[in-house]
Amino acid sequence: MIFICVKWPVKPEFADRWVELTRDFTEATRAEPGNLFFQWSRSVDDPTEFVLIEAFKDDAAEAHVTSPHFREAQDELPQYLTSTPKVRNVRMDGDHWDELSEFEV
């Protein structure tokens, strides 16, 4: 799978609305063939930083970045940001979450 983690630095005046502002983009991405997950979290250290973790089946990420909703997000979302998002993008085996054996329940 292709695993992507993005840190989104949101302007303070939009931070409380970020989930709403990205709802259409989120829902459209989750509906894409090949999307495994697309999940937002808010930083506990910086309430204006949102972390997006997403994964796609191999080669499905290209369809994502060329989709109409991605291009719309490229046009719309930067106005709400303080700087360019930071990203890590890796290929990894499997298409699932593993259990954290060090904290087995």
Residues 64-80: tens digit of each pLDDT: 999 999 999 999 999 99
**CATH of residue 52:** 3.30.70.100
Q: What is the pTM of this model?
A: 0.92
Expressed as residue numbers, the domain containing 44 is 2-93
Q: Within a domain: residue 86?
A: yes
Please count the structural domains in the chain. Answer: 1
Q: Within a domain: residue 30?
A: yes
Q: Within a domain: residue 38?
A: yes
Residue 89 in this model has a pLDDT that exceeds 90: yes
With residue 42 as reference, give the H or E element that holds it.
Answer: strand 35-42
Sequence-separated contacts (24+) of 22-29 with Cβ below 8 Å? 22/73, 22/77, 24/69, 24/72, 25/69, 25/70, 25/72, 25/73, 25/77, 28/67, 28/69, 29/54, 29/64, 29/67, 29/69, 29/70
